[in-house]
Amino acid sequence: MGKIIFILGGARSGKSSFALKLAKKSKKRKVAFIATAQARDREMGKRILLHRLARPSNFKTFEEALNLSGLLKKISSGFDVIIIDCLTLFVSNLMLKRFKEKEILEEIDKVLAMLKKTNTKAIIVSNEVGLGIVPQTKLGRNFRDIAGKVNQAVAKKADNVFFMVSGLPWRVK
C-alpha cells in the first residue's frame, strides 16, 4: 500500500525544499517529480527554471497541468517516490479550464486512490490558503474554498502531514 506525505505551508515557507529533502532521504532512488506549474509569463518561467535546477539530476521530471490521474496511471509503477508540486497550482489550472468544484474533487479522489494502491511513497505539496484575508473577488473566494477542500481531502488520506513555518517542518499528523 502506498504512503502519502502531505506538505502544506505558505508561500516561500520551504515546502518544495522539504519535499526534495524527504525524497533524497529515501533509500530507493527512482524518483518522479510532477510539476503542475505553467509558465504564463517570463517571471514564472524563471521560477520554474530555478526549481528545475534545484532538483537532483536522477529525478525524472514530468510536467502535467491538468490530468494528474492520467499521468499517475502511466508512471506510478515505475517509481519508488513521486513528488507532486503543487496542488494549488493544479487547482488553479483546472479552474482556469472551467472545471467545477465537483470535478476537481473527483480528480483529487482518483489521484489519492491511485497513490494508495501502489507501493510508492508520494510526497504532495500544497499551499495553505486559509490563513489570509477573504479574497475580494468571487473567483478568488472560489479558489480559496476549492483549494481548502482539496487540502482537507488530501490531509484526511495522508499518512503524514507537515506544516511548514519559515523553513521548519511541523508534524501535524
Q: Convert the pLDDT of each residue in 100-129 to its tens digit.
A: 999 999 999 999 999 999 989 999 999 999
Total-model pTM: 0.92
Cβ atoms of 79 and 34 closer than 8 Å: no
Residue in 3, 51, 110, 116 annotated catalytic: 51
**Angle (deg, nearest 10), helices 138-157 and 101-117:** 20
Please name the residue that has the C-alpha cell 513555518: 165
Q: What is the CATH number of the domain that holds 116?
A: 3.40.50.300
Residue 93 sits in which domain range? Answer: 3-171
Minimum mean pLDDT among 40-44, 152-156, 169-173: which range?
Answer: 40-44
Annotation says 51 is catalytic: yes
pLDDT band at 27 (very low <50, low <70, confident <90, very high): low
Number of domains observed in the structure of the chain: 1
pLDDT band at 167 (very low <50, low <70, confident <90, very high): very high
From CA 92, how far away is CA 112, in angstroms rounded? 18
pLDDT band at 28 (very low <50, low <70, confident <90, very high): low
Beta-carbon-side half-sphere exposure of residue 59 (alpha carbons within 13 Å): 24
Q: What is the mean pLDDT of residues 121-138?
A: 93
CA dihedral (134, 136, 142, 147) in degrees, to 10, reads -50
- Average pLDDT in the chain: 92
